A and B are shown apart, each in its own frame.
Chain A
Amino acid sequence: MRGALVAQPGTVDEAVAALAATPGAQLLAGGTDFCVEVNFGMRRPPAVVALRRVAELRRIEMTPSQAVIGACTTYADMGGEPLATAFPGLAAAARTVGSPQIRNAGTLGGNVATASPAGDTLPLLVALDARMRLRGPTGERTVSLSELVTGVKRTGIAPDEVLVDVVIDRRPGPQEFLKVGTRNAMVIAIASVAVVVDVESREVRVGLGSVAPVPLRARDAEAHAREAIDWDALSVGEAGAARFGELVASACAPITDHRSTAEYRRHAVQVIARRALERCVRRAC
């Protein structure tokens, strides 16, 4: 980082221009992934474009049907209102991230751009079919999260593009996010699940983290839940909930590494998926 140039644009367009002006320049948001990689010698950018002063990136805009969340929205912001009421699953995910310091610095855009399988906002974003708005020198484009994230820490964000915001549709009904780690706080997920129950459209959406190279939907489990739930009573039977857990587990493709085993991840995601569903809808007696 010795002698790295630092640009501090005030607008998204200036940020795009700054990226274009210096080949190899990289965006810096909260720095909570970026600086760790610098410390480990894995990242040596010749120039840095710091987003802190770009006010338009740190906004949450609510409409009756959507939320538009600026890329530089922090976890602390996401954990509170208005998202806590409108997207309780996202707020819950934000509250599981790191420590207070990390939640004050780390951003949604950084989580998406890092695209770690353990990124805690990603299961909910994938469950909600979140759309990512990106701006580059040739203009703006919008892609879904599942299109954007192509592999472990790999995305389709071009080096000259800025992720501007994330758009998610409002879904009336309960949402849950559960995360398993080997410590009670500040831990990288070894399995996580987001469950969204839309009581209007009567559908269930499931996003999984840390159990595959990319955040996953569990479509078979979703279809099963749709059938298993008694929508009028908003409840689910014991067998239906158990089957839901099994189908979630069979959707994933976990690995064994120094953090956990594939076997445990699969087991854990089954347990927490079932619990998440049972928290969203009552257990039928």
Chain B
Amino acid sequence: MPASSATGVSQRVTGGEVRDRVGDSPSRPDGVQKVRGEFAFSSDLWMDAMLWGKTLRSPHVAARIRAIDPSPALAIPGVRAVLTASDVPGRPTFGLEDPDQPVFADDVVRYHGEPVAAVAADHPETARAAALAIAVDYEPIAPLVDPEEALTAPPIHPEGNLFRHVAIRHGDPHAHGDVVVEGTYEVGMQDQAFLGLESGLAVPAEDGGVDLYVATQWLHVDRDQIAASLGLPADRVRLYLSGVGGAFGGREDVSLQIHLCMLALRTGRPVKMVYSRDESFFGHVHRHPARMWYRHHATRDGDLVKVEARIVLDGGAYLSSSRAVISNAACFAPGPYRVPNAVIDGYAVRTNNPPCGAMRGFGAVQACFGHEAQMDKLAVALSMDPVDLRLRNALERFDRLVTGQVLTGAVPVREVIRAAAAHPLPAPLGPDDPMLARPGGAGATADAAHVRRGVGFAVSVKNVAYSEGFDDYATARLRIEAGLDLDAAPVATVTVATAEVGQGFVTLAQQIVREELGVTRVVLAPANTVDVGSAGSSSASRQTWMSGGALQRACAVVRRELITRAAEMWECPVACCRFENGMVVRVDTVTDVGDDAEGVHVSVGELLAHGHVETEEEYHHAPTKALDAMGQGDAHLSFMFAAHRAVVDLDPDLGLVRVVQIATGQDVGRALHPVQVIGQIEGGVAQGVGLAVMEEIVVSEGRVRNPSFTDYLLPTVLDMPEVVATLVEEPEPGAPYGAKGVGEPPAISSGPAVMAAIRNATGLSLTRVPVHPEDIARSTGS
């Protein structure tokens, strides 16, 4: 190390020994608090004299509202306000892509659970009773619940029933393969099921504006939607991030934000609202259910010739992010394979079902269940090993997607497949293995002799960050100053509006500053819309790249300023100074550093003696383009690839399944915090496994039948497989530190791999997820 012979305390503090840099795995700054139950989540928000808000939701799937009479509610002592559509001061609607969703249903209700009114009262029980007391005169109408019918049915919204049709025409539409396989697949409606319920606290401000403390994924886009509906300038609506208990896409849309702010402004009092678990199932968007038809063509040797697909996503009553989700589903319909010819039609439609939007994997998840089932079918038709077939067709750098986009980044598809396949298979289930480890688990239903094992494979592709021409950016503010303690060790303060939803950006931000500036003490300021510009959404696996990129840029600006200060001090050109290990080093002097190190380097701490350095930087990713009418265009920034191999044990008589192991190879670009990457992989696998074998919001005739954790089943620890992971590190050109996103891929192909393993064990075609015991038992049972 160049500066290792320098003397002085400051060198030890700021020099080359700074730990917990990029690539290390330091512990989370909020980790201890969270483990000890001391972390304040948004549901813990409290203020003296606050009121409690409650939403009244439609019991009908589709209805006209003839009249609303709030007076019975207002007559209840302790009730301070009842608000309905006519009270919305500004824009009556909101929405991420287009504001097509009413803040409160006005003349029509379009889904079961749509907000109709909101109440503020001095006690949550009073608010609840008051909401029920509001007299709403509904005239139920026949709901439109079939997504196929939606394409031709009369519109149920002024903006029509088709959110978007994405048509992809690539190569020769008439190409034909020697071997053709066809299939129809269905994916049920999955919920994000974050544990931290929607909650927030709105406080009226003296300037006529409002301060909102809330758990969300994107503070600034919430702010803009709230301000529009309140009819206030954006700077009078200030959002502060509250502790977020998970998000997974379910907090990207506005839920209680506008209602809360309206109640606070109307009553002049702080108002808190916390959804109950059942309300949460109605209060946020879900993963789109899908119906997919596929036809794959291949040569006799196993080269893909053409993929035909028709994908219909049920977007439910309002748009949310349906347009972007269907774009992804269509773009990634063929999976991570070289496909010279493609005819793909993706439709996202409006129905009277619950609104659907963002969820981890965003369109790629649904498509993956289809394309991977097809690859297995094709392997059977070709008498090929399914892994070999995938290796043979795997995308490589400089291949084209079906959108015509040339892959210029890292494309280690073969590497992730080989890595997943290379993990040793788990030992077979023996008679001495505990009952809990068998399918049926605690129910003790299976003896070892009843159990059959299956192995399945799946591979996936997804984009990083926002696509199709969206100006996607993040902002970071960085301030560095001399500390107040004796050795004046410098303190860096990072201010970003990045929503920490569990992904660990708070850890990474500290690592980046340590890496770039060699400063040990890095403090994170609270995230809000007041102190810094937008960070964009904590979604699309984008914050490491985007907020990480903005922070890296801010560090570079600070470094330049410190170099300038050193150059002024030494009265030398800036070009003669270099930043190294928390010091500015003069590179033009060849001094014997033995005795007198002065003038050769100066620590950051010393350079800050005359004042702090502060900057705010934006990072915009390389521009992308919208898809054209043929679905062609460089729509995406970068791509992530993952392969999963699932091993399942299954009781064919009862149809019960236990996923034993998921082995994965994941393309991460570079692992900036390996432990957090593994955390994302394990969590994503849990969600993928959940969708394959149990998680579904059951909707019949537009009605949600299971809005509770009693009946919306999530994997427990006994359902969670062992996870073995290999991180494939091929740095992504143009990405900060070469890192791709890592959050979504584990949730994409893990579920399809489980389905492949179940098919392998049973010989059944099983075209719908989640698979139910009766789907397996009925056909293979006694």
Contacts and interface: CB of A to CB of B under 8 A. Distances in A.
Interface of A: 1-2, 36, 39-41, 92, 95-96, 99, 176-190, 192, 245, 258-261, 263-264, 267-268, 270-272, 275, 279
Nearest to A98: B442
A183 B447 CA distance: 17
A193 B278 CA distance: 31
Given A186-B716, A261-B774, A180 B711 contact: no
B429 to A, nearest CB: 14
A187 B712 CA distance: 10
Report which residue of A41, A95, A271, A272 has the largest number of chain B beta carbons within 10 angstroms of its beta carbon.
A271
B680 to A, nearest CB: 23
Interface in B65-100: none
B782 A179 contact: no
Contacts of B718: 183-185
A271 B716 contact: no
B23 to A, nearest CB: 37
A231 B178 CA distance: 64
B443 A181 contact: yes
Contacts of B781: 267, 271
Report which residue of A36, A95, A259 has the largest number of chain B beta carbons within 10 angstroms of its beta carbon.
A259
A41 B772 CA distance: 30
B778 interface: yes
Interface of B: 123, 125-126, 128, 276-278, 436, 439-445, 447, 450, 653-656, 658, 694, 698, 700, 705-706, 708, 710-711, 713, 715-719, 772-774, 777-778, 781-782
A190 B128 CA distance: 33
Contacts of A99: 716
Given A2-B125, A271-B781, A279-B447, A187 B713 contact: yes
B445 A275 contact: yes
B774 A264 contact: yes
Contacts of A260: 772-774
A180 B443 contact: yes
Given A183-B719, A258-B706, A96 B777 contact: no
Report which residue of A1, A190, A272 has the largest number of chain B beta carbons within 10 angstroms of its beta carbon.
A272
Nearest to B651: A271
A188 B710 CA distance: 8
Where chain B touches its partner, the secondary structure class is loop
B128 A41 contact: yes
**A-B interface, 8 closest residue pairs, ranked by CB to CB distance from nearest:** A184-B441, A264-B774, A179-B443, A184-B718, A185-B718, A2-B125, A258-B705, A185-B442
Contacts of A96: 442-444
Nearest to B714: A183
Contacts of A178: 443-445
Given A178-B445, A267-B778, A272-B654, A183 B773 contact: no
A184 B658 contact: yes
A258 B782 contact: no
Given A263-B774, A272-B654, 11 more contacts: A36-B710, A99-B716, A176-B444, A180-B440, A183-B441, A183-B715, A185-B441, A186-B716, A258-B700, A261-B774, A279-B447
B38 to A, nearest CB: 20
Nearest to A183: B713
Contacts of A245: 782
B777 A2 contact: no
A260 B698 CA distance: 12
A264 B444 contact: no
B778 A263 contact: yes
Given A92-B444, A180-B773, A183-B716, A271 B782 contact: yes
Contacts of B694: 182-183
A184 B711 contact: no
Contact of A185 (B653, B719, B777): B719
21 contacts: A92-B444, A96-B443, A178-B444, A179-B442, A179-B443, A182-B656, A182-B694, A182-B772, A183-B715, A183-B718, A184-B441, A184-B443, A184-B656, A184-B718, A185-B716, A189-B443, A261-B774, A264-B655, A264-B773, A271-B653, A275-B450
